[in-house]
């Protein structure tokens, strides 16, 4: 009796990589990519590729995790957000691989601040963003200067030699030009501390500790 062959169901298969149309750039899971936005005048979307799959008609889809720009988040763009800052969201999606326009690198904040030159494809991420609630992880970061703002890597800052805190030139009454020419900087708090300690030292010479 004739054996009936099991029909192979048209399935999806995972691919190791995808080559961006018209380029020799290869995208693999874990890479960050720039994707064509729906409106022409918008900046490309940034996403992290989680998985690449093809269907039986060889349509290639990428499963991505979106990065949000600060202006796409609930609180909007704030003073301390750098121009290349992104938030890794909890928003996952499947997109046609054809919408990938290029690759980019999303650095850790620390590595980004160490770059000699920031290229167009360099971005950084220091927060994860929960799209539904508009909340951030971590929800607290170190603040600097009199203005008590988190560090924005686009802004020039000067470091106090004494307390090692960082200040924006404008917040301590300097222009950027003056700050760049400064050999060393001591903040006003440390200056007044210094004066105080000099005065107290002069007023009470340390003899043998007895009060006459």
| The model's pTM | 0.79
User: Model confidence over 76-135: pLDDT tens digits?
Assistant: 999 999 999 999 999 999 999 999 999 999 999 999 999 999 999 999 999 999 999 999
**How far apart (Å, rounded) are the C-alpha atoms in residues 190 and 193?**
5
Q: Are 34 and 46 in contact (CB under 8 A)?
A: yes
Q: Which helix (H) or strand (E) holds 66?
A: strand 60-68
User: Model confidence over 16-51: pLDDT tens digits?
Assistant: 999 998 899 999 999 999 999 888 888 899 999 999
**How far apart (Å, rounded) are the C-alpha atoms in residues 112 and 23?**
26
**What is the set of domains in the chain, with CATH numbers?**
13-141 (2.30.30.490), 156-203 (3.30.40.10)
Considering only the C-alpha atoms of the chain, give the largest distance between any 2 of them, rounded to a whole number of Å: 121
User: Model confidence over 132-156: pLDDT tens digits?
Assistant: 999 999 988 899 999 999 999 999 9
């Amino acid at each position: 009796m004739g054996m009936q062959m099991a029909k192979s169901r048209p399935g999806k298969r995972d691919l190791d990589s995808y080559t961006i149309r018209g380029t020799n750039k290869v995208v693999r899971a874990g890479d960050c990519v720039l994707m064509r936005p729906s409106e022409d005048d918008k900046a490309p979307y940034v996403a992290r590729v989680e998985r690449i799959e093809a269907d039986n008609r060889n349509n290639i889809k990428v499963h991505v995790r979106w990065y949000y720009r600060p202006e796409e988040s609930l609180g909007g763009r704030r003073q301390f957000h750098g121009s290349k800052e992104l938030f890794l969201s909890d928003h996952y999606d499947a997109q046609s691989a054809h919408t990938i326009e290029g690759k980019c690198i999303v650095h850790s904040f620390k590595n980004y601040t160490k770059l000699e030159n920031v290229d167009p494809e360099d971005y950084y991420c220091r927060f994860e963003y929960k799209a539904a609630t508009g909340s951030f992880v971590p929800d607290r970061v170190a603040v600097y200067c009199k203005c008590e703002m988190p560090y924005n890597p686009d802004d020039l800052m000067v470091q106090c030699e004494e307390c090692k805190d960082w200040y924006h030139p404008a917040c301590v009454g300097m222009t950027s030009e003056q700050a760049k020419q400064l050999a060393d900087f001591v903040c006003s708090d440390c200056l007044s501390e210094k004066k105080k300690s000099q005065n107290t030292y002069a007023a009470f010479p340390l003899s043998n500790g007895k009060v006459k």
